[in-house]
Structure formats: structure tokens, C-alpha cells
């Protein structure tokens, strides 16, 4: 039986992993949040790993409040960089494979083509910078790692764009959403399945990978599609980024090329609208 530690145990990705594995007797999964394990405390991490015999660590813990990170740089760095570094050292000491979740926000969005794993990462925000620092720390410390960059993650769990749009759709008659930032909405349940597939296949093709659902959308497209599937009548107006200023800059294009992960692990990735429809209808959102 494989024993797996999942950090960020209260988050949407961890919840999706839990949903999928509830009846799986081959995996023993321990979920922790900051109350059970503070990943920014190196001694606590080492001690926790010493007391348990894990085969894998899935690091879903992150400081993801993109705008708040601009004024909370130290906290974002502690979680996204130092925390990732601490986990990497502990995984190296105890022969554990680390699966780390990163972000499309490591890119500046200025190129017109899809981003591959080889493209230069130039974050625009504190959040993006600290996540990139975490990636680099892991790669420098530990050979047995998978770093998976994903984008626009949503699910039936926690707080995310889908849940926000559904709430606003019940409160308002009209809404303005940014149309000039493009990427790919990604269902956390699909990402969870990929992570678990790597573990169950005993995959050893370590390294950096991009994973999102297939297709391209703007935040406006995403919102309109949510309301359409949920049968919510609301007027949605497309606006440019400059009309909705935020503390953190976002990449205008964060579409990721997924050729590497598809070919390496023989994956078929669902189209974003299909996964969104399944999420909303299956969970009666």
C-alpha cells in the first residue's frame, strides 16, 4: 500500500483527490493543513516526515491570494518558496517522491504562442515570483519530483471563479468580466486524476510538466459559459484589463502547451467546457 501525504489538505485540489480515492484500498492518504503541519517550519517538516513512512508527498499548499500577495510578500514567499524548499529537503532525506503544484502565473503572457516547459518564466506578480522560486528550489534539491503547472483551477469545493460567478449570478442582473486575458479553465478533479495516475503507474519520468484542460478561453468566455450551463439569466459585459485594475498584474496569455505530459503519460485531456459542464451538473451547482 502506498502512503501519501497531501499538504493543503483543506483546499479544492486536496478535496478532489479525497473524492476520487474514498474507496481506494491501495492508497493510504494523510491530509494536513497548517494546523497539523506548518510547511514553513523546517524542523516541523523533518520531524513529521521522520515519524511517518510516506512514499509520496503531493504539495497542494500555497499562498494563492494573488492580489493580497503584493502587500504580503513575506508570507507568500514563506509558503510558496520556503515551504516548497522544506518539503523537497525532507523528501530527499526520506526517499519520497514530491508532486508539486505550480501555476501559469510564472509567465508574463507576452508571447502569442502556447507556453511550453522550455519557455522563459518571467512572472509579473509576487505570487508568480514566489511560485517560480518554489519550483527552482525543488528542482535544485530533489531529483524525484514532478512539478505540474496548472491554470484557472476550479471545482465544486472551496472558493474559486466558478463559485464566485454562481454566487454573483444569484445576486445581480448584470456583470462585467475581463475579456483580454486568455488561458484555460481547469477542473481540479481532472488534475487530481492525473496526479493519482502518476502514482498508481509508479511513474519515474520526473520533471516539469504543464497540465490544464484543452481549449482556450477568456475570463469573459468562462463566465458566460458558466451562466449558460447553470441556466442563469444575467447580462455579462466584456471589459478590458485596464477597466478593472488590480494590485497584481496578470499575464494576458497563459495558455500552456500540454504535449509533453500527454505524450509522456499517454493522456487524453478533456476539453474545458465539457469538464465545466460535468462539474456543474454532476454536483448540481
The residues carrying an active-site annotation are: 127
The answer to whether the beta carbons of residues 193 and 148 sit under 8 Å apart is no
E strands, the chain, in order: 2-7, 27-32, 56-59, 97-103, 145-150, 153-154, 174-178, 182-183, 186-187, 207-210, 217-218, 235-239
Distance from C-alpha of 41 to C-alpha of 31, rounded to nearest angstrom: 17
Name every residue whose Cβ is closer than 8 Å to that of residue 213 and which is 6 or more positions away in sequence. Answer: 184, 185, 186, 187, 190, 269, 270, 271, 272, 275
C-alpha cell at 150: 496548472
Percent helix, strand, coil in the chain, to 5, is: 40, 20, 40
Grouping H, G, I as helix, E, B as strand and the rest as coil, residue 63 is coil
Kindly give, in sequence order, each residue whose CB lies less than 8 Å from that of residue 78, ignoring residues fewer than 6 positions away: 40, 63
Rounded distance, CA 119 to CA 114, Å?
9
Helix (H) or strand (E) holding 129: helix 126-141
| Cα distances (Å, whole numbers) of residue 134 to 34, 117, 263 | 18, 16, 26
Q: And the C-alpha cell for 126? A: 509576487
Amino acid at each position: 500500500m502506498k502512503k501519501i501525504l497531501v499538504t493543503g489538505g483543506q483546499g479544492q485540489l486536496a478535496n478532489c483527490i479525497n473524492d476520487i480515492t474514498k474507496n481506494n484500498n491501495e492508497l493510504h492518504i494523510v491530509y494536513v493543513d497548517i494546523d497539523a503541519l506548518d510547511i514553513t517550519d523546517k524542523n516541523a517538516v523533518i520531524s513529521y516526515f521522520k515519524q511517518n513512512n510516506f512514499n509520496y508527498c503531493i504539495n497542494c499548499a500555497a499562498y494563492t491570494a494573488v492580489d493580497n500577495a503584493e502587500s504580503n510578500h513575506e508570507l507568500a514567499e514563506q509558503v510558496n518558496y520556503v515551504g516548497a524548499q522544506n518539503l523537497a529537503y525532507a523528501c530527499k532525506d526520506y526517499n519520497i517522491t514530491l508532486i508539486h503544484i505550480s501555476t501559469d502565473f510564472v509567465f508574463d503572457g507576452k508571447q502569442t504562442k502556447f507556453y511550453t516547459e522550455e519557455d522563459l518564466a518571467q512572472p509579473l506578480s509576487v505570487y508568480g515570483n514566489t511560485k517560480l522560486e518554489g519550483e527552482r528550489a525543488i528542482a535544485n534539491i530533489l531529483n524525484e519530483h514532478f512539478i505540474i503547472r496548472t491554470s484557472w483551477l476550479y471545482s465544486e469545493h472551496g472558493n474559486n471563479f466558478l463559485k464566485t460567478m454562481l454566487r454573483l449570478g444569484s445576486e445581480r442582473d448584470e456583470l462585467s468580466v475581463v475579456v483580454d486575458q486568455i488561458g484555460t479553465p481547469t477542473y481540479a478533479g481532472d488534475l487530481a486524476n492525473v496526479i493519482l495516475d502518476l502514482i498508481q503507474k509508479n511513474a519515474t519520468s520526473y520533471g516539469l510538466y504543464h497540465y490544464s484542460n484543452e481549449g482556450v478561453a477568456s475570463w469573459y468566455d468562462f463566465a458566460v459559459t458558466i451562466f449558460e450551463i447553470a441556466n442563469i439569466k444575467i447580462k455579462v459585459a466584456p471589459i478590458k484589463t485596464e477597466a478593472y485594475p488590480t494590485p497584481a498584474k496578470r499575464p494576458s496569455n497563459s495558455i500552456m502547451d500540454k504535449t509533453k505530459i500527454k505524450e509522456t503519460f499517454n493522456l487524453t485531456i478533456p476539453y474545458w467546457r465539457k469538464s465545466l459542464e460535468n462539474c456543474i451538473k454532476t454536483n448540481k451547482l
